[in-house]
Every structure is written in C-alpha cells, then in structure tokens.
Structure 1
C-alpha cells in the first residue's frame, strides 16, 4: 500500500513536468513561427488532448491553466505580460480554456467507453457461449471466441458475412414471424440448427436481443447461442430407453396403450396393443380392425361404447371379449381418459389390458368355491342326518297310521266313507310333507352354479329352520323367530342363503352344548337397516366370542371345533360378499354371540 501511495504522486510529477515541457516547446515553436493567438491555441489544444489521455481531470486542468498562461504571456497584447489590452483577446483566452476543458472531458469519456467496450469484448471472448452481433441486414459485426470454437470460422472470416447464409440456419418457424416477434417484444428465444465449417449440424438454444437507439430505432441484434447437441442426444437416448422399458413393461403386464384423435379419426397403438389384437405392427390401426377381432356377441356393445365416447367426450371403462382367428377367446379391459386442448380437439389416451388369465382364474376360483360349498352342505346334512330322518319318519309314520285306520274303517260291517276320505286326505298331506323334505334335502345336495332369483328372505329362513327341528330338540334348544314383515325383496340364490343360515344356526346350537344354569335359546331376527339393506342376526346364549379369535372367525381353515374343517364361516362370507353384502360377528350386551349378515335390496344388487 505504501508503494502504491508513493507511485501515484511520482507519476503525477513526471506527467505534469513532461506536459509543461511539451507545452513550453510548443510555445517556443509557435512564437518562432510567428503564429497568432488563435493558431497557437489550436496547437495547444492538440497537445492538451494528447496529455489528457494519460490521466484524470486534474491533470487536464493543470495543463489547460499552464497553456492559458503561455498564451496570455507570449501571444496576447501586450507581449511578455499577463495584462490584457483587448477584449477580443480576453474572449479568445476564455474560449480556449472552456474548449480545452470540454474537449478533454469528452475525450476521457470516449476513452472510458472504449475501455468498457474492450473489457466487455474480453469478457465475451472468455464466455463459452457463442455471442455475435449482426446489423439489421443480418451482417455480422462482432464474433466472439466462443463462436470461433463452436462454428470453426475465425473472427476475420465471419465479420461482414450474412449470418444466416454463413451458418445455413434452419428455423423452427418462418424467419418473418421470428423477426416480427423480435421487433414487437425486443427479444426471441428458440432452438436453431446451424451448420459448422466442417459441415456438421449443431442444435443451439438461441436468444436474440434487439439493440435500439435512444429514439427506439433498431440498430443491431445480439445473438447468444448454447450448444444443445449433446443434450438433445441424451434426451433422445433417454426417450428411446423409456420407450424400450415401457414396451417391455407392457409386454410383461399384458397391457398396451392407445391414442385416439376423434376429430381426425387417427388411432395410435403401442407394440403390445398390436400383439394383443394379433395384428402386424406395420399396419395402421382403425376402429374397424378392433371390431373385426371383437367377439360377435360383444360387437354391438363395443360399438355403442365407442359411439358414446365420440359424442360425449367422456372417459370410458369397460370389458369385452375378442375372438381370435384361431378360435381362442381373450378378455380385454379397456380404459381411456379424455384429453382436451385449447382448440377443442377431442382426444383419448387409454390402456388395453389382457385380463384373460385373471378371468380364467376367477372362473376356476368360483368352481372351487362351489365345490367347497357343496362339501360343507353335505357336511351340514351329515350333522343333520338324525334331524332329517326324524322329519321324514314323522310323515311316513302318519301315513302308515292313517292307512291302517282306513283299513279298519273299510273292515267295519257298515263302512264309513267320510272317515276313510279324511284318512286318505291326511295321508296325502303327510306324503307331500315328506316329499317336500326330500326336495329340500336334494336341493341342498345338488352341485351347480349359482342361480339367483327374486325371493323373500323370511321364506328362506323358514325353509332352513324346518330342517333343524330335530337338532333343536336333541340339544334342548328353543328357537325363537323375530321376522320383520318390512324386508326389501332380494335377488339371490335360495340354496346358498339356506346354507349360510344352516351354518349359523348349527354353530349357535353347538355353541350352547356346555351351557347350564340358564335356558338355551336361539334367536333368528330379521330387520331393515337405515340403508335399506336386509339384515339377518342369529343370537345364541353361549359363552360369546373370545377377543383373540374375533378377527379370525371368517378366515379359511380356522375352527374352534375339535373335528371342524374351518370352512363353514369362510364360505358363508364368500357367499354373502358374492351377493354384494357383508357378514360380521360380535358379542351382545349380555355377552351372547351374534352373527349377522346384510344383503342389498333388488335394485341395488342388480345395478351392481
């Protein structure tokens, strides 16, 4: 710091001394040549301007005052005196001083501007981005080092050339539109394709800035470009990888994608969509191609869905079947989302999922569930065999008794046709009763798919209860029915609901085997809940449900019975859920166990 403080004064002393010597030499020369005051002042101005370039305003003032003194002493009347005789000389000296200060100030300002421009140019040369300036005729007036490195042309080769011709620029939109935007907003941004000196194309992110005069007149265009070639290649490679991964993922998931421009009638299919429909990927997909593969029974439905989507522009989600040329059948799940843009062009983007395997698995699952339900029904009938035998034996015994009575009446000396008729009528009633019991048992033992019909839940309960009368008597259980007459009509499978009720009743009876000290009572109650569902509740007077087993009651193979299979309650849940309802168990306020299930009314169930 000390060296810097000393260097400045030394520099000024040397400069001022040199400047005064130069002005003194100019004074001597002008005096010998006999120049007047005006001519000498002009010479002094040249010397002062040259000296002012070497320092600040203070030096310019020093030199101007020294030059003014020389002019007054050697060239103004009287000579060799600082007095001024004529007013014109005074005005000339004042004009010299003002002109000298004004010119030196202007020169220093121009010098600073030049230094700033040189510094800016140096900084622009250090930048890696390409920067060049072109006039309004697109002629290049500045070309930085970054432009030399990117494009290959040196500054001397590029200056004076038309930029778009030199770089063979390819524009994303017409040049007239770009220039219109530039003149209107003062800037423009976009991507351009330029050709380098070696003929290689390069993609640049370009920004144009309009340079204007103070009056707003366009002067030049500053263009800065960033090389985006590698970035674009990386993006393209990423897109290819994503497309490859997407294609592999779709192939693994058996899901294809599609696009549908309704306004233009254009359809796009992914590779997996072509594979699902078994068409060549080189063909152009159409709606008729999809309908040609659609199962004949589903063509009308699919066409209706397509027409509805085209008219309303709403999302759609449906399933249908395909009948392939080889005779195989595929199940498809089609879902699409509507996409709308500013031009109100109606388009859809969707997915096509081959759910054939899932539907086959569901069918096999239903068959297995039906098999298990059949086994549990047979198991329940095995447990009820004594009760069924008792129920059948009663009408058969009554038939025998009435038959014997008929014989006795017919053997009287005076036959009584009225008594014989009464006995025969009772025999017919008992025979129908036995036949009805056999019919119900046969229904429960039959094996087949679910057959839903409109039914009354109270009637189903009454039919099921008639098969457990002997079981109730043998276990000393009293049955109480509390059936609501306000139940909604149901659309369900009668046999499957009977199976659920039988399982719950038998479980309730067996739960009270160890009960002593209080009545063994079983209550079957029906009601209609707030949602309009039909609810069945089976209450027993047993020891209730243990907390540790409450969450496992309806799981397969879980049982609390020594010889149980653990499938009864699980199948009950499957049956009820297949009907759109739910089943649950809880302890009543008196610690009695309550098993309940709810079923939706006909309109809710059918809509599902």
Structure 2
C-alpha cells in the first residue's frame, strides 16, 4: 500500500513539473513574441522575460528556475541577436547581454527562493511558538510588544491584535519582586535573566510566572529586542505557600511542646527576632519588638554577668555561644534557660546570630530533686556502713573512755594522799584530756558521716583522709584479723571535694575488701596507697588478698542493685561511682595477678578541678 502511494505521489509530482516547464516555456515564448512585435530592444525584452522567470520561480525549486533561465537566454539569442531566428551570434558583444540576463536570472531567482524559505521558516517558527504552552512575546527597546503567541492570549486574556503595540508593563501591570533596574543590569551584562514576576490578567486576577528574558541583537551586535517566555506557576507557589505555612505551624507546635524558641540577632543593628515560643518563654507581648533591654528586664540579678560576658564575646570574634542563665519574674518565679547560637553572614555581610533558647526549668528542678535523692541515698548508705562498723566504733570510743576512767581513779588516789602529789594529778588530768579529745574526735567523725548536709567542696589532703578512715575502721580490721599496710606518698597533692563523701567511698571499699577476704582462710592483707599518675591525678588504691572478682561480675560491679552478697542491696559501689564521677574522677576495679582485687579511685588535683570549673 505504501509502495503504491509512493509511486502515485512521484507520478503526480512529475506531472506537475512537466506542466510547469511546458507552461513556463510557452509563457516565455509568448513574452518574447510580444517584445518582438513591439520592436523592443534586447535589454527591455530581457527585463520582461526576467519578470516572468521570477514569477515562475515562486512555483518550484532551483532546477525549474535554471531551466527557465536557459529558455529565456535562448529566446533572446534567437529573436533579438543578429542573425534573427538563428542560434548564431554575429557580434561578440551580443554575448554580454545574454550572459548578464542568465546570471541575473539565476541570482534573482535564488534570492527570491531564499526569501521564500526564510518566510516559510518564520511561519513554521511562529506556528511552533503558537503551539507551545509557555507564553511567548517579543518587545522592542521601548518595551512595546511586537509579537504575542497563542499561549499568551490564553493566559492573559488579550488577543494578539489587542496586545501588539502596547507597552508590556502597562498592559500586564507587572509587579517586580526585585528592582527593575537590577533586572535590566543583569540582562545587559549577561544577555539573559530569569526570575519570578507577577502579572495582572485581563480579568483582574494575578498570575505568578517564572519569567525568562533573552536579549536579541541586530546584525551590528546592538540590542534590538527582548524575547520573554513565561510559565504560569501560580498554583505551584500557592501550594508551596501552603506547605510553608503547614511547616511553620508544625514548627510552632514542636517548639511549644519542647519549650524551645528560636531567635535571630543582628550584631550591627542590635535587632532581635523572636519566635512565638521565645515570646512565651520570656512572657512578653508578641506584638512588642524584642530588644536586649527586654532580656535584661527578665535576667536574674545573679546571672547578669553571664549575659554581659556573652554580649562582649559575641560582639568580638566569637562564632558560637552556649550559656545557661536564669530569669526572675515579678512574682518571684525563676526560669532556667539554655541558650545556644551560631554566627552567620546576613545580607550586606553583617554578622548575625541564629540560635535557640530552651526552657530547662523542669530539667533543672528534676536534677535538684535527683541530687537530693542521691544525697539521701548516700546518707542511708553511710548509716548502713556505720552500722557495720558499730562494733569497731564502740571499740575505738571505749579505749579512750577506759583510759579516762583509769586516769580518773589514779587522780583520786593521788589527791587523797597527804600531802597530795600534784605532779601526778596533773599528769592524770592531762591524760584524761587527751583521751577525751580522742573520743570526741571519733564521735565527731561519726556525726559528720551521719548528717545529710549537702556536699561542700573544699581542699582535702588525701593522706589525712586515709588516716581518718583508718581510725574508724581499725577495730573492724582487727576483728577480721586483717593486717593493714599503708603506702602513702608524702608529696601527694590535695584534691577538691567533699571530705565526708570521699570518706564514705573509702570506707565502703575497705569494708567490701574485708568482707571479701573473710570468705577465704589464712592471713589477710589490706594495702592502702596514695600516689599520682602521669596526668598529675591523685590515685587512691585499696588492694586486698581475697578471692578476686569473677570475669562475669567485673563489668557490672558498679551497676545499681547488683550485688554478690545475699544480704546486700547492691547500692554501695553504685553510690561510690556516682560520688567519684561528681568529683570529676573515676573508680576502677581489677583483679591482682597473685590473687585478690584492687579498687583505684582517681581524682583530679584541686588546681585541675578549679580550671575545669
């Protein structure tokens, strides 16, 4: 079927060409006969036939034009060049007009054909521009519309006849989202610009378009027109705005749930931006523009220096800040805030901070309650330890009391003599005073361990701490038949901490060691040493000769409620771990190669603790 149609088309084309060539030749012969009848010169006759050839060239391709040019040249030769009615040429100069006719005919028909091709291409391009869904229009240097496609008619509502000749910005009432001068500067520099514009349609509704401008140049390279294509993105922008509003709503809800507000701060101008949650945290009017004075009005008097130091650092070279401070409200309420921010460059190169302010009052109150609970638990642990040491303490207190009684009885005997021996009496009274002071010191240590006062950090000499604990646990060691060995370095630096809590840790470790060694027969040794490590930390080590710690229990040793004893609660070592971590140190347990275990307490020196704080 396709072959038949192809053959039919070729036959039809050849039939058209034959009719064109025959008809054209007849027309040229007729024009030559007319010119000959009117006795026109060869130049005039050539011009007349050239007109016929140009008209015929509009009907077909270059081949037909060449054929007609040849026919016209032959007619000029036969009818207008002597000898007449012959192809011979007597005079050589007669060849010139025939050649000129042939060349002119070819040149003019080629030019006409090129113009026709160019027009056809322009019509095709215009038809394609009319078929596109994007609006396309062209405006000259005065912004007057010279072309307006079908999509522009459909979008804006004005027909091509109504739009052409109008100034585009007047017709569409263009709203520029960036300055018009800036757009023109970019267009002149790059020859291209794209961005969003707002156009007003014929019915008065607004259309947001993604616009692309391309500068057109003439043959001299001078700008002569601007091609503008627009794509209607109104629905897309409306959807994006809806998403943005939804995201903003979700963000506001999330900030309210997490008690976290956001803020922006321009260093140069001092301008502040607060989110709705930030206003809620400071309990300020959302309609009131926040300032640094707004913050100062709410600052707790004791935290003003924190805020002012942050302002000074932020105004300098600091790129981040992370602070905590309190707010004090007129009714006496206090809020704890955690503020973090990061520096960035604003428009114009000015520094600004973008950050978050979090209301951590609940967390701080929980931490306070936790510390109180831990303090009570630690006190209960100390009371429990003292209960286990009760026999030892009674023994330690009983010794000076027995010495006091003995000295008192001796003092009475020396007084009843006549004359009284005052030197002996004085010696007895001195002994009684010494032993009383010794008993009072033991009682005072027990009272310190018993009380539930909050921790008080102060410089603590580690060796003195060991001596005090040894005095309290001496009787317990004797009851367990344990030999105590002390290796205390004389140059051990002081640590910063709570003496009572550190005593509790050391007592707990010693009691655990005594109880562990009680499960194995033989002589028991307990070594307490003090030293410093390579980082200048103080290391207190308690080494026992018990059975050691099983590999399965070693990782869980400091977990709460973990115990290997049937009567223990499993809180002693967990509390010890919490106390040491609160002091910035760590507590470690390991097995000795020759048997037994070693508990090491590592504490930073007082200078390191102050530097860290």
* 1:376 Cα deviation from its structure 2 partner: 0.5
Among 458, 482, 503, the residue aligned to 1:498: 503
Counterpart for residue 356 of structure 2: 351
Alignment of 1:527 with 2:531, yes or no, is yes
Counterpart for residue 573 of structure 1: 577
Q: How does 1:210-289 map to 2 (within 5 A)?
A: 210-289=215-294
TM-score by length of 1: 0.95
For residues 559 and 158 of structure 1, do their structure 2 counterparts lie closer, same or farther at Cα, with a shift above 3 Å needed? same
Structure 1 stretches of 5 or more lacking a match? Answer: none
Structure 2 stretches of 5 or more lacking a match? Answer: none
* 1:561 Cα deviation from its structure 2 partner: 0.9
Among 583, 589, 597, the residue aligned to 1:593: 597
TM-score by length of 2: 0.94
- Please say which of residues 124-133 and 14-23 is displaced more in the overlay: 14-23
Counterpart for residue 78 of structure 1: 83
Q: Secondary structure at the match of 1:467?
A: helix
Contact 1:320 1:331 in 2 (8 A): yes
The whole-number CA distance in structure 2 between the counterparts of 1:146 and 1:338 is 48
Counterpart for residue 438 of structure 2: 433
Counterpart for residue 557 of structure 1: 561
Q: Secondary structure at the match of 1:547?
A: coil
Contact 2:537 2:604 in 1 (8 A): yes
* 1:367 Cα deviation from its structure 2 partner: 0.6
Q: How does 1:154-173 map to 2 (within 5 A)?
A: 154-173=159-178
The whole-number CA distance in structure 2 between the counterparts of 1:175 and 1:259 is 30
* 1:466 Cα deviation from its structure 2 partner: 0.8
* 1:554 Cα deviation from its structure 2 partner: 1.1
- String of CA shifts for 1:137-163, please: whole Å, max 9, x gaps: 212111111111111111121112221
For residues 417 and 291 of structure 1, do their structure 2 counterparts lie closer, same or farther at Cα, with a shift above 3 Å needed? same
Contact 1:486 1:528 in 2 (8 A): no
The whole-number CA distance in structure 1 between the counterparts of 2:156 and 2:499 is 85
The whole-number CA distance in structure 1 between the counterparts of 2:131 and 2:536 is 81
For residues 418 and 166 of structure 1, do their structure 2 counterparts lie closer, same or farther at Cα, with a shift above 3 Å needed? same
Contact 2:585 2:604 in 1 (8 A): yes
Counterpart for residue 20 of structure 1: 22
The whole-number CA distance in structure 1 between the counterparts of 2:570 and 2:343 is 49
* 1:240 Cα deviation from its structure 2 partner: 1.1
Counterpart for residue 371 of structure 1: 376
* 1:362 Cα deviation from its structure 2 partner: 0.6
* 1:528 Cα deviation from its structure 2 partner: 0.9
* 1:386 Cα deviation from its structure 2 partner: 0.5
The whole-number CA distance in structure 2 between the counterparts of 1:415 and 1:218 is 133
Among 532, 536, 555, the residue aligned to 2:540: 536
Counterpart for residue 141 of structure 1: 146
Contact 2:32 2:79 in 1 (8 A): no
Q: Secondary structure at the match of 2:472?
A: coil
Counterpart for residue 31 of structure 1: 33
Q: How does 1:109-124 map to 2 (within 5 A)?
A: 109-124=114-129
- Aligned residues, how many? 607
Among 62, 68, 72, the residue aligned to 1:63: 68
* 1:426 Cα deviation from its structure 2 partner: 2.0
Q: Secondary structure at the match of 2:553?
A: helix
For residues 180 and 88 of structure 1, do their structure 2 counterparts lie closer, same or farther at Cα, with a shift above 3 Å needed? farther
The whole-number CA distance in structure 2 between the counterparts of 1:590 and 1:72 is 134
* 1:202 Cα deviation from its structure 2 partner: 1.3
- String of CA shifts for 1:296-315, please: whole Å, max 9, x gaps: 33334423433443344542
- String of CA shifts for 1:132-188, please: whole Å, max 9, x gaps: 111112121111111111111111211122211111122234434433432332222
Contact 2:31 2:48 in 1 (8 A): no
